[in-house]
Structure formats: C-alpha cells, structure tokens
Amino acid sequence: MSRRSTAEKKTAKSDPIYHNRLVNMVVNRILKNGKKSLAYRILYRAIKNIQQKTEKNPLSVLRQAIRRVTPNVTVKARRVGGSTYRVPTEIRSTQGKVLAIRWLLGASRKRLGRNMKFKLSHELMDAARGNGNAIRKKEETHRMAEANRAFAHFR
C-alpha cells in the first residue's frame, strides 16, 4: 500500500457498440493474452445468442445476471493469535460487481459445451433466471459468512 495519497478511482470506458461500461468490464475479464478483439467477439456473439433465445433485451439479461450473482458479504482470512479465521466482511457494490463478473466467467469456462459463446450465454441466462454455478457460488459464500458470523468481531 502506498504511504502517499490514495489512488484515483478509474472509471471504466464504455464499449464501442452498446456504449455500456458493464459490457466493457466483462470484456476486460474475458481477455486472455491481450486478445481484446477476440474477447469482444465472444461477448457480442453471446449477447446475440441471448437475444435469439430469450427475445428480450440482452443488456437487461446481462445486468440482471450480474445483479443476481453480486454478493453482499464475503469472507476474508484473518490471522489472530496464531490461528486463521474466516471473517465475514461487507463489500462495496463495485467490488461485488467485480466478484460477480469473475464468478460468472469462471462458471461459464467450467461449463461443458461447444465454445465460449454458448457457455457464456447459457450461464448468463441461467444466472438471470436464478440458477447456475455462479448463483451457487454466491449462496455458498453467504452461507460461509453466516456460519462464521461469530468471528465478525475480528474485523
């Protein structure tokens, strides 16, 4: 951590087609080895697939999926008196959104399927409906935070 001043918060840029910052955040998390055009292509094809399957606005499906997966609390490891405790801590909305995107992409990468377009679109649709592996990860985190509520005073 810097001893000088606090770092300025960077605002995410919006993507070229939908002019949406959330889409750009997802693209930057899909990104591997600097291949941003491939990441854009994956997400835009997944969005087109969502639009064909659900016949709804795909950005609202994306927004709803991220909102459903976003956690309120998380557990952090704290070392107190020689032993490590999993301490539940509340998180801000921006950090929750980052965790939600990370969990959605991790769940879609683990899914069985043809390619990333199909896996991502199906995971987003499942999360918007309220089921899927990313939703299960959120519920598991909330359950762990509830189980370790006794250690909240170590915060």
Burial of 26 (0-12, 13-18, 19+ CB in 10 A): buried
* Measured CA distances, 141 to 11, 40, 58, 82, 86 (Å): 27, 30, 27, 24, 11
How sure is the predictor about 136, in pLDDT bands with cuts at 50, 70 and 90? very high
Residue range 55-112, pLDDT digits in tens: 889 999 999 999 999 999 988 888 878 888 888 889 998 899 999 999 999 999 999 9
pTM: 0.87
Give the pLDDT confidence score for residue 154 in this predicted structure: 67
User: Considering the chain, what is the average pLDDT of its residues?
Assistant: 89
Give the pLDDT confidence score for residue 65 in this predicted structure: 94
Kindly state which CATH superfamily the domain 19-152 is placed in: Ribosomal protein S7/S5 (1.10.455.10)
Give the pLDDT confidence score for residue 155 in this predicted structure: 61
Tokens, residue 31: 């990104």
Residue range 36-62, pLDDT digits in tens: 999 999 999 999 999 999 888 999 999
Task: State how far the Cα of 67 lies from the Cα of 65, in Å rounded to an integer.
Answer: 5
Task: State how far the Cα of 106 lies from the Cα of 131, in Å rounded to an integer.
Answer: 15
